[in-house]
Structure 1
Amino acid sequence: MVDKVHFGVGDILVFLASLVLSMFVGVYYAFKDRRRETVDNYYYASRKMSAVPLGLSISVTFISALTVIGLPTETYIFGFVTIWHCTTLVLPTVIACLYYIPLIHRLRLATIYEYLEMRFHRNNRVLSSGIEILSMILYMGTTVYIPSLALSAVTPLSTNAAILLTSGICTIYTVCGGLKAVVWTDAFQSGIMFVGTVAALIQGALVVGGFGNVWAAMERSGRFNVFTFDLDPRIRQTALTYLTGTVTSFMNIACCSQPIAQRYLSCETVKQARITVSSGINSLSAMVLSDFILPRKPKLSSKLQMIISKVTGVVLGLILTVISYLCSLTNGTIISLVLTVRGSSGGPMLGVFTLGLFFPWCNKWGALVGQAVGTLFCFWIAIGSLIQGRDVYYDRVMPISTGGCPAINATNMTSPLLNDSIIDWNTTQPMMVYDIGAEVDLIESKSYNNLYLISFMYYSMIGLFVTIIVGNVVSLITGNNNTEKMDPKLFVPIIDNQCFPANVRRFFRFGVPPLGPENEEKMGNMDSGGENFPLKETRNVVEVRESMTHVQQ
């Protein structure tokens, strides 16, 4: 076996410079804003952030280590069908711009889950925020683990030491500098990711003798499976799984996740927020403070709120470190693990917001039961799949042996990541390489429950539809809301553009009164006019808003 390749002196200097700069950004904003330590400035940058760094920050949120390291691994193992991943953000971005961004700015939410308390009941807010906190902790633990694994592969650091270094620096600059530090560090890191990706693409092509050889190798190994539109939901990934399941997952992130909503709210206007289309710790601490602490202790002083925010950030950083250590003990690819968890909770989360925005007759019981049933049903399938294991036929694994590869021998290097858990595709079952010409009856096992064989990439879509269906049925049983008495500020009609006839727009309001002309949301103007139809806020929401206003002053 050839020697493992480590960073050179120049590589280490560049790496250290990036760490020092990230730390500097956090310390800089902590010093600069030391006399403006308010919750609004800490979590939302006083709602005056520029759209450009926020847009880059959102890009980094979507294109994290899971994409930079995990997606190429998925492509290597399962084929070029993963190219559809690049198209899955289009529809979620459109939906966010048309419906969710105007609503979020109109209501000036403390967290995205405050909407659920306004629309339904406090219990809906607590349930959703609690589920999202647990889901995000697992997700963020994974995003810390993956770069740590890569770092340990090219430096003398062990994986555990790399985890401690990565999570420690992220926690420090986030806790010290708040959202401003997070956004500007993300903007800086987006440049590194872009340059690094382009450099790897060029260098990789040079090593194997040009892009023509790359294409020839892909065709030779059967990896050009882009146009695989198999309707069988048991197949791990096809073009259809990306265009349905993954789109649903990204729609949840773009429309109703706190890290993204927090960036929307940091823009001064709706127009800037629409343009924008490591923050996890900052967003989680915002959720803990706004969704769980302030509703019970609304009179907390500004100083105490800031102390709680920063202590919460440190505690969350420690939890993420532990989760990262545990990631190395899991089977299956990292993307499978994360999408299983996020899909099981994200689809029902999107479902309850969909019920709130577009189904005015849905009541609090429908939303609560719908989300609970959707989440439990998805986790039931996920846990059943983990216990049963997958039929290897449906995973369609490509040949992954590098024996005799001239490129690896010519560069005198190994790829430690290929032997680590990042592509430990399924160590509990025998390896089977997919053979397009093989007879299905000779491979397919008859002892599996088909429900548990459904691809994890469909979990989010399943959770979305189960939540919507159950939510409407339960609302019908327990008594639908009277849509004519509902608050119009809490709804966004599916069709409300002036290019449509008035009767069509009236139909899609489903009986909800229209907003007064002075309250209509205009593009680029987030400030509503008079209170023609005041919001019916709960006592907790009012008290928290008063507390936040007092802190901002």
Structure 2
Amino acid sequence: MSLFTAADYVVCGMMLSISALIGVYFACTGGRQRSQAEYLLADRSMGALPVSFSLLASFMSAITLLGVSAENYTYGTQFVLINVSYVIATPIAAHCYLPVFYRLSEYSVYQYLEYRFGTLTRMLCSMAFSLQMILYMGVVLYAPAIALSTVTGISLWLSVLLVGLVCTFYSTLGGMKAVLVTDVFQTLLMFAAIFAVIAVGCVTMGGPAEIWRVAEEGGRIEFLNISPDPTERHTVWSLGLGGVFIYLSLYAVNQAQVQRLLSVGSLRRAQLALWIQWPILTCLSLSTSFAGLVVYAHYHGCDPFATGKVKLPDQLLPRFVMDTMRDIPGLPGLFVAGIFSGSLSTVSSAVNSLAAVTVHDYVRLFPCWSQQPAEWELPLTKLLSLGYGLLCLAVSYLVSKVGASVLTASLTIFGAVGGPLLGVFTLGMFSTGANQRGAVAGLLVGLAINLWIGFAPKPPAATLPVTTDLCRNDTHVAGVVLPAYDDVIDGSSDVINATAALVEGASPLTDDSGSKYLYLYRLSYMWISMIGFLVTCLVGLLVSLIGPRRSPPTPPGLLSPPVAWLRGRMEPQDSSPSRMKLNGSNVGTEMDQFEAKTWL
């Protein structure tokens, strides 16, 4: 029986209606989405603030909101230190990678790889990205829907269809402008949902200090695990260093994120957008983590897994909402609207970026299409946006039928692809000696190793102990030890911590419990992206040194600004008029003339 009231349905309906109307508005105003530049890059007219919110919304999906809170309930607060990696990685993404993409001004980031290495490298990387995003779209839509439906009683497939269709509607009609503006609206809803949880928790538990005390007594407070053991799930090193590569794979070279940054009118404002989203992202991350402590403080004496209230960690936060807010009309609806906003923002970014990649990396390479007038590209792009939105629903249905295997495979592929793709772009921007032979070899080896590690059997992670001492007699489950689910974790830091808690009487796993697994399989998932990156770069450089090297000199416009600047200081300037011309402009000459202030 549905636990939602009419007021809750009204709140959710208003969220979906506003998102759809934003798409209609931008379809009928401005240039009415009549050009590729407006449809895919918002005419480069967007400000830094809305783009920064959109970057955050694409990164923090509904899976993250539910998963991070469950992470703090199950494992403690160590994961919070991943915010340190954001401080380290933001300037790298803003000043070492973004200027190259911004000066090229292409719709697809993979066009860079053709300029730098060749068509084969471009196609392989673009295909890896497409597979990554298609699988992930369905998971992002279905996983939170199933968690919410089992707890709140709302219709699973009605919510999946409504969210998927509304997202497809405004993305197809309104283009990038609609996606960016709805992302701002949906980000505010995500904050409202999390703040509502914290506020209600503080009122019912007696304030933040009491919540912290209960969490500390339960062993949930931990920030300084400095163990050098790479097999430990979360440490200062894995979060601070491994998180840098996860962040860069998303913000520095990911098509969905770079496409948003290219919608800003100048490079400096695009860099400012990256800097602005960092504190907003940190605020949402810390708030979601504290929401996990609120949930723990509420259930600390009567674990909901043991009582059968929830079966998966994703259901912890919705269960808390229904237990504490159901008597407040509209508040559970606000929470569900915030969670579904995370799904909307992530799927809309995927739909828009996949349409851009398909047109500019696949269709335009066919000779028959290259002879067609440019006016045909825009209707095709809109049609592809519609198609990818419907494909998202189909993948969601596939996940529901096949189950956890598809969910695990989707998230594993998503996490495994990011590191090698970052490695290929890094080879191009930071090395003048890398060539296509090396880039392709590095990509294939990096993907193979990451997928091998990702799909290998993993030892179950040890969880922190819980108790059922305070359960009432009618819900107490004595002497039951629930099996631990395997962790299903996305290397992009979208965490689905599908791990059951250990109830009273169970012992945490010992260090010997994973000894039967190959050491490589026991590595923390936080290192996977870095491993793929390092393997790709190392293999790429070594293979590039083997065999004939007849590649022309790399134009400075294809190098990261610091590398181009150092190269210009060490080598004489080439005054020859025959420089590589890209996109109709002399990129080599333009980049020769940049100053250190563009990246320092």
Give the TM-score normalised by the residue count of structure 2: 0.75
Does the 8 Å CA contact 2:467/2:503 hold for their aligned counterparts?
A: no
Alignment partner of 1:318 out of 390, 402, 414: 390
- Structure 1, residues 272-304: CA drift from partner, whole Å, max 9, x if none? 111111211011100000100012222333443
Aligned AA for 1:73? A
- The yes-or-no answer on 1:218 pairing with 2:263 is no
Aligned to 1:376: 448
How many percent of aligned residue pairs carry the same amino acid? 32
Aligned AA for 2:524? S
Structure 2 segments unaligned to the other structure (5+ residues): 275-347, 476-483, 489-494, 585-600
The change in CA–CA distance for 1:398 and 1:17 in structure 2 (over 3 A counts) is same
Q: Displacement, 1:208?
A: 2.2
Distance 1:199 1:52 in 2: 24
The change in CA–CA distance for 1:269 and 1:512 in structure 2 (over 3 A counts) is farther
Aligned to 2:498: 425
1:169-318 to 2 correspondence within 5 Å?
Answer: 169-277=166-274, 278-296=348-366, 297-318=369-390
After superposition, the CA RMSD in angstroms is 3.3
1:102-113 to 2 correspondence within 5 Å?
Answer: 102-113=99-110
Q: Displacement, 1:495?
A: 5.8
Aligned to 2:558: 490
Aligned AA for 2:536? T
Alignment partner of 2:522 out of 439, 442, 453: 453
The change in CA–CA distance for 1:286 and 1:515 in structure 2 (over 3 A counts) is farther
Q: Displacement, 1:198?
A: 1.6
Aligned to 1:23: 20
1:133-144 to 2 correspondence within 5 Å?
Answer: 133-144=130-141
Distance 1:430 1:199 in 2: 28
Aligned to 1:344: 416
Aligned to 1:66: 63
Q: Displacement, 1:357?
A: 0.4
- Structure 1, residues 96-120: CA drift from partner, whole Å, max 9, x if none? 2111221112111221110000001
The change in CA–CA distance for 1:365 and 1:151 in structure 2 (over 3 A counts) is same
- Structure 1, residues 300-359: CA drift from partner, whole Å, max 9, x if none? 33443222212211221122123223445554997x876632331110000001000010
Does the 8 Å CA contact 1:360/1:512 hold for their aligned counterparts?
A: no
Give the 3-state SS of the residue equivalent to 2:370 in structure 1.
Answer: coil
Aligned AA for 2:146? L
Give the TM-score normalised by the residue count of structure 1: 0.81
Give the 3-state SS of the residue equivalent to 1:279 in structure 2.
Answer: helix
Aligned to 1:391: 459
The change in CA–CA distance for 1:468 and 1:511 in structure 2 (over 3 A counts) is farther
Distance 1:197 1:533 in 2: 57
Distance 2:422 2:111 in 1: 15
Q: Displacement, 1:160?
A: 2.6
Q: Displacement, 1:217?
A: 2.3
Aligned to 1:43: 40
Distance 1:129 1:304 in 2: 22
Q: Displacement, 1:480?
A: 4.4
Q: Displacement, 1:401?
A: 5.6
Distance 2:544 2:413 in 1: 28
How many aligned positions are there? 493
Q: Displacement, 1:35?
A: 5.2
Give the 3-state SS of the residue equivalent to 1:89 in structure 2.
Answer: helix
Distance 2:409 2:241 in 1: 19
1:17-166 to 2 correspondence within 5 Å?
Answer: 17-32=14-29, 36-153=33-150, 155-166=152-163
Does the 8 Å CA contact 1:148/1:163 hold for their aligned counterparts?
A: yes
The change in CA–CA distance for 1:250 and 1:200 in structure 2 (over 3 A counts) is same
Distance 2:137 2:420 in 1: 20
Distance 1:433 1:324 in 2: 38
Distance 1:424 1:253 in 2: 20
The change in CA–CA distance for 1:169 and 1:514 in structure 2 (over 3 A counts) is farther
Aligned to 1:462: 531
Structure 1 segments unaligned to the other structure (5+ residues): 410-417, 497-504, 517-530, 543-553
